[in-house]
Amino acid sequence: MKMKSLFSREQVDRNGSFQEHNRLQKQHVEEFGFNRAPRSLTAQTDDGLNAFIASVGQERLQELATGETSGGMPPQVLPMAESQLEQNLDLAIDSLISYFKSGQFGEFACPFNDYQKQPIVCRYAAFLPPNPVPIKRVLHWCNGRAESLLKNLQTIYALREFRGAGLALVMMDHPGQGFSSRYLKDPFKGFTRDFNELINAQKIFEGIIRPQLIEHNQSLGYENGFTYRVGGHSMGSGIATRLLQKYPDLADDWLFTSPMHNIDTPFHFQFDRFGVIEQIGVIILKFINILDRDFDYIPGRKPGYHPNPLPTKENPVMNKLTTSRLQTTFINRMRERYPGITLGAPTIVWLKESITECKKMRKQAGILRQAIASGKHLTVLRPTGEQVLGKKGQDRLYELVGEGMNVIDVDGEPKPQHEMLMEGPQIQHQAFSWLAEFAWGDGSLVASGPRTLGWV
């Protein structure tokens, strides 16, 4: 039996938007210099280094470099003030972009191809301590679906003092989104052919970036090594969970925020305790695949990219992502500036693959239990107002893992939504603080907050 080609169906582009998107993406890649250092990091520019020094201060950087031995003030979380964003958003974005360019960038080809049978190219960034500060901690961050490296601008900036003290923050754009190349001719479709390719891309990235971090320390004569921790948001948490299950020794500790530990259905857990509805859904998705319609957007979603609606006083949860009108405007403005990295709604095949992976997470819950028993910390941060992902499937996984899974429900008024790192200032600062505590502390994230699960 002859197998049909995965990329057999033509993607229609009547207005030339696909070609323009590709042109703009290449322009953005060139601006940051990802393509100047295949499989290795670019050298840090003088402008970038100066932006880093200016953001922290030369004297403070010196204090951070010797803080552990001199008894100086420990590094602090210092997010950009909301008033600065409100006063002149474009100027604030300029400042954040300038700081982002203090990082170093690279790209690598994956062992799987796009619709033109060319290797998918993934782009990555690393924000290392300044010379001569050795790397003491590494935070490997996994983005969510439809996100890019630039979505993390405020997070990277808020952790700059920890960077000055010895934290390396490293991250990449998943295959098919952000600065990385696309699978399909239609660059707006959120697609994954096989979820394993997303997992393996992160493993390849770890294998590329870790030796460079080790080399950084060796060049300074620092032989103590570093702690390597992995965190993720939304789909990035799902990828990180499967990464942990496939490679238990890859990292020391793991943090999952707003985690894709299930794909939500409108049915309450009690009515589908044995996953019957989910099984029916998978059968339907397989039938769609037979009809060669799995490339389509999921039902009810429009083609292309569309800005997020702004929250209102009457409806602060308008877009289900954040209650902050300012942060929504920030996200939309960034995508206006860099349209070549935008992504639209997910495809049916993405949904099918994600449901399958969530089932695997539960089936291999014992590996998570073993990781905890070996001394690794596994922590979940989830917002009480979550509307993108339901909690019933998450709870099923955490029940299977059992004691030792630290689940923290983050509350506030209004209820925080899916994007805790881009929420109102109080929730955002708390999320930044927990992230810093995870990265810089012992990885346990012993945080105060409501717990709704009896086994925590």
The domain limits of the chain are 33-440
Rounded distance between C-alpha atoms, residue 8 and residue 200, angstroms: 25
**Contact 174/240 with Cβ under 8 angstroms?**
no
Per-residue pLDDT at 160: 98
* pLDDT of 389: 93
Give me 380's structure tokens: 């979940």
Q: For the whole prediction, is pTM greater than 0.85?
A: yes
Q: Which fold has domain 33-440?
A: Rossmann fold (3.40.50)
Among 235, 242, 256, residue whose Cα is nearest residue 435: 256
Phi-psi bin for 48: left (phi > 0), alpha (psi -120 to 50), beta?
alpha
CA distance 282 to 21: 33
Angle in degrees, CA 320, 323, 324, rounded to 5: 130
* pLDDT one digit per residue (tens) for the chain, 456 residues: 333 444 445 567 777 899 999 999 999 999 999 999 989 999 888 998 999 999 999 999 999 998 766 667 899 999 999 999 999 999 999 999 999 999 999 999 999 999 999 999 999 999 999 989 999 999 999 999 999 999 999 999 999 999 999 999 999 999 999 999 999 999 999 999 899 999 999 999 999 999 999 999 999 999 899 999 999 999 999 999 999 999 999 999 999 999 999 986 544 344 444 455 555 555 555 555 544 556 788 888 888 899 999 999 889 999 999 999 999 999 999 999 999 999 999 998 899 899 999 999 999 999 999 999 999 999 999 999 999 998 888 999 999 999 899 999 999 989 999 999 999 999 999 999 999 999 999 999 865 444 433 333
CB atoms < 10 A from the CB of 122, how many?
Answer: 26
**CA–CA distance, 200 with 192 (Å, rounded to integer):** 13
Beta bridge partners of 228: 138
